[in-house]
Chain A
Amino acid sequence: MKLEHKATIAAPIGQVWAFLMDVPAVAKCAPGVESVEPLGDDKYRGTIKVSVGPIRLAFQGDVSIVERDEVAHTASMRADAADKRAGGAVKAVLTMSLSEVSTDPPVTELRMETDAQIMGRVGEFGQPIIRKKADQMVGEFGQNLSKAIAAGIAK
């Protein structure tokens, strides 16, 4: 399943990039993230809660930065997580790339391409709903990111 999102952030590209490299801060922008612990080597462990109506899933897993190109301003993160209770797993690669829209005022565009696979019993249940939910969540994540970066700058 492939998802694409864009967010526009009123901040210079360098600042946005710096923020993106702070994984715990970035992770907090994802809806439902409960905890993020660094494991070293650009690897982190965390929990994210997802609910669709009465269905409540808690995915636990690892996120790592698998690629980062400071010059091109692209980075990709990989997440592997599983929900033990219902028996489901998610494997996702999130590629983020920044481009400068303007320097005065500073505006940066963030593009996020997500390639995710939902597996196991959770995957048996309504892939279309999962896709919609994932789409919603990544969209919200993008919005939260812009807000968080804007807030950081305002400080």
Chain B
Amino acid sequence: MSMLTEDAARIFEAPEYRIEGPLKVSGRARYTADVKVPDALIAKFLLSPLPHAHIVSIDTSAAKAVPGVKAVLTGADIGLKLFGRVLYDWPVLAVDQVRFAGERVAAVAAETREAADDAIKLIQVEYEDLPSVFDAEEALRDGAPLLHPDPSGYFYGMGKRGDRPNLNLQGYELVKKGEEDIERVFASAHRVFEDEYSGPRQHQGYIEPHACVLWIDGDDVVHVYSVAKAPFGLRTQLSRVTGHPSPKIVVDSMFIGGDFGGKGNVIDEFPCYYLARATGRPIRSINTYAEELAAGAPRHAVKFYLRTGVDRDGRIIAHQSRAYFNGGAYGAAKPMPNCLVPAGVGPLEVYNVPNTRIETFVSYTNTVPCGHMRAPGSIYAGHAGEGHIDHIARELGMDPVEFRLLNCVRDGDRGPANEGFHKPKAVEVLEAVKRETSWGRPLLPNHGRGVVLRHRHVGTGKSEIVLRLLKGGKIEALYATPDQGSGSATVVRRVAAAVLSVDPERIEVRYGDTGEARLDGGSGASRVTHVVGQATIAGATSLKEQLQDLAAEVMGWPAGKVRLEGDRFVVADGSGEGGDFADVAGRIAAGGEVEAIGAYDSNTLSHDEADFNFYAYMIEVEVDPDTGRVEILDAVQVVDVGTIINPVAHQGQLDGSFVFGFGNAMMEELVEQDGLITTLSLGEYKLPTQMDIPPLRTVLVQDPVGCGPFGAKAAGEITNSGVAAAVANAITDAVGVRMKTLPLTAERVFASLQEQKGGVI
């Protein structure tokens, strides 16, 4: 369905009034840490101080003696229980061995936080150091310490695990396209370019730390209030880890205080289950932000090695890349098959490259397990790939936009991993850069402009939604997608109203926990508008048919002739008969509730031509050559979008995406020293503030051809991964140095300038 109906156009174009707005602006929206359960105990965890060690002994006797302490559990008490999203390799509590500093060694439940803290300090653990490896590439060398010598017992949730050439690999992938002997193509190239790029671990920076409240009721039902963005996924994991039957686990993650990938990985629920079992009391766990930064599941650090050959006309003929992602001690936090970071194939994702050889390595190291963060891996793939492209264009003496226009994918082209595109908009967004920005105009000294072309898949998944006509004539939409701020409830309301052709105010959207609502894949990968929106269309279409039939029945109208349109039931037989929605629906509902289930699974879509949002950036900077400080003077994001359902929220997502990418590009770095994270507060790990954000302009290139409802595409994590490359390319344009390591700190720029001058500081 790509054409907008009149109803849809009217409903979608009006600025929305978000359903959850009143709760959120009044402090009444209930987040997990706000949940109070009588008699709850506080949970605290003892974390390993060492990156790799054998646990010789643990003595909990002094901790157990602390007044108010109700349970102290170690791995010996609960056994080796492994959890994960796809690969179950992370122990709930360490058994015999710790593999990263921050790993949980013991769990305490106590009446007060103070008692829990005291108990933690009194647990005596004797460790014996083991050799550690912290670097992704070193982990793959001969003789590197093996973190998981025998992974055969690890459960893997996606069929057969891919082959891995080294036991220190969580994931490995080799993608090839075109000529088998790529060296032959490189040998024939007019020129070959090589570059190395790297980026650090970064933290999602959500403001709400992980929290969970868990209790087991008299009927042995486990109730969980969680920050998990995929509550059904958590239910499955909890069931598999604990053996507790999944129908007797109810997960409620209604409001999530910031996700950005970080709430895909939750770890507190598992030990809290065992603490609740041990004490018979509800357990409440709220992490400190220091714990979040030390042992959350940050974005992977990465190193890219890129090599690209071009012909005499500047056309890319071959591309080879190797990406080494530092996965940390466990692969458990990643939701992708084979524990891959999806951006491994990403550096040249928007270009028509006939011959490729792309390898992705995700290593085990004795560092914090890494997970997903907004457009996982893509910021680094973008920085590497678009810096590399910029480098090639400049070396060839070509305008960077023209070079991209020459090589980008068009209708029918296939990407470097041989992927197909449904109506790719690379050319359109590049043309908009030329048309709508200052690209190509004269520049002042130390000023420069950078351009970037990237894309982002709209996201896939499955979801089910229940639409019900309630007594009184309201229509309830019940679904289980947690609200992490995207405005999905309002999407559901507007899409349902557009399909049903009723006043949106008639649709009451309600979140349901896993006990009440139907299966949902959770929010993430920018999928919600697409997946939940399509489920809503299915449900609303079915409900509409039922209501039309029932209207005929209760009103005595001719069967098959009743249409619901313009908030009225009308009889399409020329009689002019009909009635207001409220009156007729009221009479239908008096006979009982009417229910329809809308289900959607994106797997039913053709995978041959996938849907992407293409986008481009044009960013102008000024570099202070004496300090290396970079100021963004002008930022324009050009975004290929489909139908927009919530215009205010849609722009808000694009704004937020830019600023998120700005922080990632300019300042964010989780510093690790000997396996320990040392940036342990938001005073050290800085996020952009109001005063730091540059002026931003958004140019929409709109075409309602997406796979979402009414031709919608994604909005959430499209443009964040282009900022770093655009700024880095602009720095090159301004002062001639190419910044190959993120973040683009003043010090790094300064050092590059010194090096360029040949000076040593």
Closest Cβ of chain A: how far from B380's Cβ, in Å? 25
Q: Which residues of B contact A127 (CB under 8 A)?
A: 673, 678
Contact check, A84 vs B121: say whether CB atoms are below 8 A apart.
yes
Closest Cβ of chain A: how far from B670's Cβ, in Å? 13
- How would residues 679 to 690 of chain B score, 1 for a CB under 8 Å from any chain A CB and 0 otherwise? 011000000000
- How would residues 109 to 137 of chain A score, 1 for a CB under 8 Å from any chain B CB and 0 otherwise? 00000000101100110010000000000
Contact check, A123 vs B121: say whether CB atoms are below 8 A apart.
no
Contact check, A1 vs B673: say whether CB atoms are below 8 A apart.
yes
Q: Which residues of B contact A89 (CB under 8 A)?
A: 49
In the complex where A84-B121, A87-B121, A124-B680 touch, is A119 in contact with B101 (Cβ < 8 A)?
Answer: yes
Residue B632 lies at the interface, judged by CB distance under 8 Å to chain A: no
In the complex where A1-B674, A124-B290, A127-B673 touch, is A119 in contact with B121 (Cβ < 8 A)?
Answer: no
| 15 extra A-B contacts, CB within 8 A, seeds A87-B120, A123-B678, A127-B673 | A1-B673, A1-B674, A84-B121, A89-B49, A91-B50, A117-B676, A119-B50, A119-B101, A119-B676, A120-B49, A123-B49, A123-B676, A124-B290, A124-B294, A127-B678
Task: Kindly state the separation between the CA atoms of A120 and B121 in the bound complex, as whole angstroms.
Answer: 10
Chain A, residue nearest B293 (CB): A124
Chain A, residue nearest B675 (CB): A117
- How would residues 290 to 320 of chain B score, 1 for a CB under 8 Å from any chain A CB and 0 otherwise? 1000100000000000000000000000000
Closest Cβ of chain B: how far from A10's Cβ, in Å? 35
Q: Which residues of B contact A84 (CB under 8 A)?
A: 121
Chain B, residue nearest A1 (CB): B673
Chain A, residue nearest B290 (CB): A124
- How would residues 77 to 99 of chain A score, 1 for a CB under 8 Å from any chain B CB and 0 otherwise? 00000001001010100000000
Q: 15 interchain pairs (CB within 8 A)? A: A1-B674, A84-B121, A87-B120, A89-B49, A91-B50, A117-B674, A119-B50, A119-B101, A123-B49, A123-B676, A124-B294, A124-B680, A124-B681, A127-B673, A127-B678
> Could you tell me which residues of chain B, from 657 to 673, have a CB within 8 Å of some CB in chain A?
673
Closest Cβ of chain A: how far from B337's Cβ, in Å? 36
Chain B, residue nearest A123 (CB): B676
Closest Cβ of chain B: how far from A128's Cβ, in Å? 9
In the complex where A124-B680, A127-B678 touch, is A119 in contact with B673 (Cβ < 8 A)?
Answer: no
Task: Kindly state the separation between the CA atoms of A89 and B680 in the bound complex, as whole angstroms.
Answer: 17
- How would residues 707 to 722 of chain B score, 1 for a CB under 8 Å from any chain A CB and 0 otherwise? 0000000000000000
Task: Kindly state the separation between the CA atoms of A87 and B50 in the bound complex, as whole angstroms.
Answer: 14
Number of A-B contacts (CB under 8 A): 23
Task: Kindly state the separation between the CA atoms of A117 and B290 in the bound complex, as whole angstroms.
Answer: 18
Task: Kindly state the separation between the CA atoms of A78 and B680 in the bound complex, as whole angstroms.
Answer: 27
Q: Which residues of A contact B676 (CB under 8 A)?
A: 117, 119, 123
> Could you tell me which residues of chain B, from 202 to 217, have a CB within 8 Å of some CB in chain A?
none
Task: Kindly state the separation between the CA atoms of A31 and B680 in the bound complex, as whole angstroms.
Answer: 29
Task: Kindly state the separation between the CA atoms of A1 and B671 in the bound complex, as whole angstroms.
Answer: 13
Q: Which residues of B contact A117 (CB under 8 A)?
A: 674, 676
Q: Which residues of B contact A1 (CB under 8 A)?
A: 673-674
The 4 closest A-B pairs by CB, nearest first: A119-B49, A127-B678, A124-B680, A87-B121
> Could you tell me which residues of chain B, from 84 to 118, have a CB within 8 Å of some CB in chain A?
101
Q: Which residues of A contact B294 (CB under 8 A)?
A: 124
Q: Which residues of A contact B680 (CB under 8 A)?
A: 124
Q: Which residues of B contact A124 (CB under 8 A)?
A: 290, 294, 680-681
Q: Which residues of B contact A87 (CB under 8 A)?
A: 120-121
Closest Cβ of chain B: how far from A1's Cβ, in Å? 7
Task: Kindly state the separation between the CA atoms of A119 and B120 in the bound complex, as whole angstroms.
Answer: 15
Chain B, residue nearest A85 (CB): B121
Task: Kindly state the separation between the CA atoms of A120 and B49 in the bound complex, as whole angstroms.
Answer: 6
Chain A, residue nearest B101 (CB): A119
Task: Kindly state the separation between the CA atoms of A89 and B125 in the bound complex, as whole angstroms.
Answer: 12
Task: Kindly state the separation between the CA atoms of A120 and B101 in the bound complex, as whole angstroms.
Answer: 9
Task: Kindly state the separation between the CA atoms of A117 and B50 in the bound complex, as whole angstroms.
Answer: 9
Chain B, residue nearest A117 (CB): B674
Task: Kindly state the separation between the CA atoms of A124 and B290 in the bound complex, as whole angstroms.
Answer: 8
> Could you tell me which residues of chain B, from 37 to 91, have a CB within 8 Å of some CB in chain A?
49-50
Q: Which residues of A contact B678 (CB under 8 A)?
A: 123, 127
Q: Which residues of B contact A119 (CB under 8 A)?
A: 49-50, 101, 676
Task: Kindly state the separation between the CA atoms of A87 and B117 in the bound complex, as whole angstroms.
Answer: 10
Closest Cβ of chain A: how far from B54's Cβ, in Å? 15
Task: Kindly state the separation between the CA atoms of A87 and B46 in the bound complex, as whole angstroms.
Answer: 11
Task: Kindly state the separation between the CA atoms of A59 and B681 in the bound complex, as whole angstroms.
Answer: 25
Task: Kindly state the separation between the CA atoms of A84 and B117 in the bound complex, as whole angstroms.
Answer: 12
Task: Kindly state the separation between the CA atoms of A1 and B673 in the bound complex, as whole angstroms.
Answer: 7
Closest Cβ of chain A: how far from B606's Cβ, in Å? 51
Q: Which residues of B contact A123 (CB under 8 A)?
A: 49, 676, 678
Task: Kindly state the separation between the CA atoms of A34 and B294 in the bound complex, as whole angstroms.
Answer: 33
Closest Cβ of chain A: how far from B328's Cβ, in Å? 18
Task: Kindly state the separation between the CA atoms of A91 and B101 in the bound complex, as whole angstroms.
Answer: 13
Q: Which of A1, A87, A91, A124 has the most CB of B within 10 A?
A: A124
Chain A, residue nearest B117 (CB): A87
Task: Kindly state the separation between the CA atoms of A119 and B673 in the bound complex, as whole angstroms.
Answer: 11
Q: Which residues of A contact B50 (CB under 8 A)?
A: 91, 119
- How would residues 1 to 18 of chain A score, 1 for a CB under 8 Å from any chain B CB and 0 otherwise? 100000000000000000
Chain A, residue nearest B47 (CB): A120
Chain B, residue nearest A82 (CB): B49
Q: Which residues of A contact B681 (CB under 8 A)?
A: 124
Closest Cβ of chain B: how far from A98's Cβ, in Å? 27
Q: Which residues of A contact B49 (CB under 8 A)?
A: 89, 119-120, 123
Task: Kindly state the separation between the CA atoms of A124 and B120 in the bound complex, as whole angstroms.
Answer: 16
Chain B, residue nearest A116 (CB): B674
Chain B, residue nearest A124 (CB): B680
Task: Kindly state the separation between the CA atoms of A1 and B672 in the bound complex, as whole angstroms.
Answer: 11
Closest Cβ of chain B: how far from A137's Cβ, in Å? 19
Task: Kindly state the separation between the CA atoms of A84 and B120 in the bound complex, as whole angstroms.
Answer: 11
Task: Kindly state the separation between the CA atoms of A119 and B49 in the bound complex, as whole angstroms.
Answer: 6
Closest Cβ of chain A: how far from B676's Cβ, in Å? 7
Task: Kindly state the separation between the CA atoms of A89 and B294 in the bound complex, as whole angstroms.
Answer: 16
Q: Which residues of A contact B673 (CB under 8 A)?
A: 1, 127
Closest Cβ of chain B: how far from A66's Cβ, in Å? 12
Task: Kindly state the separation between the CA atoms of A123 and B676 in the bound complex, as whole angstroms.
Answer: 9
